[in-house]
Amino acid sequence: MVDRASSGRGLDRGSSGRGPAREFGLRVRRVTTTRAGGVSRPPFDSFNLGDHVGDDPAAVAANRRRLAAATGLGDDGIVWMNQVHGTHVEVVADAGRTCDATDGLVTATPGLALAVVTADCVPVLLADARAGVVGAVHAGRVGAAQGVVAEALRVMVDAGARAEDVSVLLGPAVSGPNYEVPDEMAADVERSLPGSRTTTRQGTVGLDLRAGIAAQLRSLGVTAIDIDPRCTVEDRTLFSHRRDAPTGRLASLVWLEPQR
């Protein structure tokens, strides 16, 4: 059900001068889910966390409660998005809400988890444990090419983060070998997000959005970038819209918790 993809070690800021000093460090927590462990019926079986795909709303709500319990965040500890493949990034401070027409979230509130739902698009989880700022981004082809990840990083910096202190996880997504697109589309994305164009397993034109996003982040000063090797199309423990539409959605979460 829940895959704790990575857990970064928090750092004590002490008296670094970048904002108020903390008496304790913060640990970055990142989690991704799989298809298993929920109550949704086919074709959304079983741990669907997307409320916009045609699944029974009661099943989605039950699955979200299970996620909240499994992570220890509580029913009001996760902020969700109604994603629209855009570039809007919203700063949040309060729990128990869903942000409309948003593809990125940023918070400086410890214990508040930010969630992105995907089924081939790239979930991007960003964190600066020194500054106490995290971000979550839904990066599909359109949003990634238009700069939603760069915008999220900009908003994080405005909130006190520094690019050189930000660590990033690019979660499970469709991989380049399985993402065939028309040549003109690949060229358009490559112009906006260099490093994305690739060749599929069949030798046709493809896109590797995670490669393009990683290159973009490095150009913006981020060096700590991890890429989950799983491909949503190949791995049947994960939801994939390209493989199975209609289908459910995975969730990827990031939050900060105090180190004890």
| Rounded mean pLDDT for each run of 10 residues along the chain, 260 residues in total | 51 29 70 98 98 97 97 93 97 89 97 97 97 98 98 98 98 98 98 98 98 98 98 98 98 90
At 149, which helix (H) or strand (E)? helix 148-158
pLDDT at site 16:
29
What is the extent of the structural domain holding 83? 2-258
- Residue 18: exposure state from Cβ atoms within 10 A (0-12, 13-18, ≥19): middle
133 neighbors 159 (Cβ within 8 angstroms):
yes
CA contacts within 13 A on the Cβ side of 191: 5
Instruction: Name the pairing type of β-strands 98-99 and 122-128.
Output: unpaired
pLDDT at site 17:
31
pLDDT at site 18:
34
Check which CATH number belongs to the domain holding 54 and give it: 3.60.140.10
Sign of the C-alpha dihedral, residues 202, 85, 137, 152? positive
pLDDT at site 94:
87
**Residues 233, 178: Cα–Cα separation, whole Å:** 7
Residue in 163, 160, 93 with CA at minimum distance from that of residue 126: 163
pLDDT at site 10:
27
Structural domains counted in the chain: 1
Residue 2's DSSP bridge partners are 33
Q: How far apart are the first and last CA of the chain?
A: 26
213 in helix, strand or coil?
helix
pTM over 0.95: no
